[in-house]
Chain A
């Protein structure tokens, strides 16, 4: 096992505990969503991040509160890792007026501006240029904030990815491009969609530093993200690109597994599950500390579900509200 988790002695205990808490919290929130889903109280398609949490957690641990992230419809992990409000997320999934988008966005459009979660799109690749534009505004205004653009391997196939990355390099913008490569677009494997497994090489051809990493180890992810963030913020030399190789454990959309469909094998998934960051990192914490974190997470989830269930649905007057911002 040649993994940075083995070098965990170099990481301070507080950081380890924070990373574990974040991983575990996302995992348990999504497991709870999956558990509740058959009750049909969550009225929103859910694209679970289970298995992919280390990317968002490692990224957001490297960001500051005033940094901003743009994500995708598989966005629970990013939202929570960046500090998005759990109660309001759960209420949003329930379609309640207290949701982060007042019940009008659902799981695919989580947003929490106060915590730098600037929104997500259900249309693959669509938020990449917004991240670049946001970074443009930061740069010309002399703001220090950095923008992370998180997208999947499918987004790399969209023209707008190339348009956006080229402009970010052209203007030397403070953007960290994070490609979550989970190897499947719904049920279609990467090899059927892209001629070469070389996303990083293609990114690099635009003239920015790009690296590939196995995102099965949250400490490694965090280390690499922190390096990239530091470089972007201090050197002001423009964007960087990280391809994070990861794996989605559940079905593309919905709460369950999908190994019965035959497009991928349980064995393939099992290799990733064995390397689960959440479990491995948890095992490195001392037991009472881990138990305290776990208990706090369970209490928080219970509270969030209770909040969502007790919250009212939006009234009919909400149908026409917020189409435009009027002074």
Chain B
């Protein structure tokens, strides 16, 4: 029988196995030793590996990021955990001015093998400062790698890859993914960066869904299927480096691109994917493009507005339908189709190709 873990369990297992394998791996962050240890992802690590290798930090994001960088320069491989991505903004100087640049501006004399785990919050009134998907800020910076896996399998494989990577890696999680289950082999394995994953095939439209939006895109695909539209759903997995080759292959087939991000669209990951698609295919393939992301405001806490703030499966389906039929969004999935089996976020499960 297939072994299944939650996304959170997959992260914990990756961390534990790498700490077993390599004594230079350390875990640090506010809450990593808590009774509620980062949604279970760091549970039991301190007991097993000791206080030198797993430790709570002061609330000093910039300073502790610098500490992680310094420890990495001395040969450790720190995993620095932020329970919300919003707090990483306090560490931008260390990440952008130091971590990203140390290797290049030293002519290769040093490298900074750190992993910065951070979690995008969503729902239950998380509000403006507990909900931001800021991965595009890091994609902008040469010298940082950015990954945002959506499945338990990729969470484990990309985290192990991140830990073994000799460079700074921003490891982006989404709170709603932590409970998602899927097949995860027990043996340690890596998922290489720069390879997108085709989650489902289709001929009519390519939907690129980033992080949690990959799941919403799969739900949208179920709606679209009932309307006679075949959507190909691609999870980029790694945002920097970005696997544009796989997206291009899909676009040569469908000619229609919908990028859905859990972040804002302006200067965002969706903008990058859209323009690179255009640069590759202009003149070679007729291409129609749409993007969906956060509404261009701060995230409101009240539920009716919060629901409007986020793209969801129904709006993704409407946008994809409009792309395929070359007209504004008049179509919406019938209400009945929600009940007819498009799975909710907690129910989403993944089969193959892994």
Task: Decide: A133 and B69 in contact? CB cutoff 8 A.
Answer: yes
Q: Which B residues between 68 and 101 are near A, CB-CB below 8 angstroms? A: 68-76, 78, 93-94, 97-98
Residues of chain B contacted by A133 (CB below 8 angstroms) = 66-74, 78
Report whether A136 and B106 are in contact in the complex, using a CB–CB cutoff of 8 Å: no
> Taking the nearest CB of chain A, how far is it from the CB of B22, in angstroms?
13
Contact stretch, chosen from B52-60, B116-124, B313-321, B329-337: B52-60
Selected interface stretch from A30-38, A157-165, A218-226: A157-165
**Which residues of B are found within 8 Å of A170, using beta-carbon distances?**
58
In the complex, A126→B94 CA distance in Å? 7
Which of chain A's residues have a CB closer than 8 A to the CB of B58?
A: 163, 166-167, 170
Stretch of A56-64, A117-125, A187-195 with 4 or more beta carbons under 8 angstroms from chain B: A117-125
- In the complex, 6 of the A-B residue pairs with CB atoms within 8 angstroms, ordered by the A residue number, are A100-B107, A129-B65, A137-B74, A167-B64, A167-B67, A323-B104
Give the docked Cα–Cα distance between A137 and B25 (Å). Answer: 11
Contact of B63 among A100, A111, A134, A164 (CB under 8 A): A164
List A102-127 residues whose CB lies under 8 Å from chain B.
102-105, 109, 111, 113, 118-119, 121, 123, 126-127
Other-chain contact of A323, B60, B65, B66, B142 (Cβ < 8 Å): B142
B218 CB → nearest A CB, Å:
32
Contacts A121-B97, A133-B68 given; does A325 touch B105 at CB 8 Å: no
Which bucket holds chain A's interface residue count? 35 or more
Given contacts A129-B94, A325-B111, contact A163 B105 (CB under 8 A): no
Alpha-carbon distance between A128 and B98 when the two chains are bound, in angstroms:
12
Nearest B-chain residue to A128, judged by Cβ: B66
| Given A121-B97, A129-B65, also A137-B166 (CB < 8 A) | no
* Contact between B74 and A134, CB atoms less than 8 A apart: yes
Q: Are B105 and A136 in contact (CB under 8 A)?
A: no
Query: Is B103 at the interface (CB under 8 A from chain A)?
Result: yes
Chain B interface size, as a band, is 35 or more
Interface residue ranges, B against A (CB under 8 Å): 26, 52-53, 57-58, 60, 62-76, 78, 93-94, 97-98, 102-111, 142-143, 145, 166-167
The chain A residue with its CB closest to the CB of B90 is: A159
CA distance A20 to B345 in the complex (A): 71
- Give Cα A323 to B102, complex, Å: 9
Smallest CB–CB gap between A247 and chain B, Å?
28
B53, B102, B167: the one contacting A119 at CB < 8 Å is B102
Measured between beta carbons, the chain B residues less than 8 angstroms from A141 are 74-75
Contact B109 A100 (CB under 8 A): yes
Q: Chain A residues with Cβ under 8 A from B66's Cβ?
A: 126-130, 132-133, 160, 164
Contacts of B68 in A (CB 8 A): 133
- On whether the beta carbons of A111 and B106 are closer than 8 Å, the reply is yes
Closest chain A residue to B99 by CB distance? A130
Most buried by B among A68, A109, A129: A129
- Cβ contact within 8 Å between B142 and A109: no
**Residue of A whose beta carbon sits closest to that of B241:** A324
Find the B residue at minimum CB distance from A327. B166
Scan A130-144; emit 1 where CB is below 8 A from any B CB, else 0: 111111111011000
Q: What's the least CB distance linking A62 to chain B, in Å? A: 21
Q: Mark A154-181, 1 if CB is under 8 A from B, else 0.
A: 0000011011101100100000000000
Cα-based distance from A155 to B75 in the complex (angstroms): 26
- A322: Cβ under 8 A from any B Cβ: yes
Task: Write out the residue numbers on chain A whose beta carbons fall within 8 Å of the beta carbon of B62.
Answer: 129, 159-160, 163
Known contacts A133-B68, A133-B73, A137-B74, A126 near B93 by CB under 8 Å: yes
For window 292-327 of A, CB contacts with B under 8 Å fall at 321-327
Whether B103 and A119, one on each chain, are in contact in the complex, defined by CB atoms closer than 8 angstroms, is no
Q: Is the CB of B70 within 8 A of A129?
A: yes
State whether A111 touches B67 (Cβ < 8 A): no
Closest to A171 in B: B55
Taking the closest CB of chain A, its distance from the CB of B262, in whole angstroms, is 26
B108's closest neighbor in chain A, by CB?
A: A322
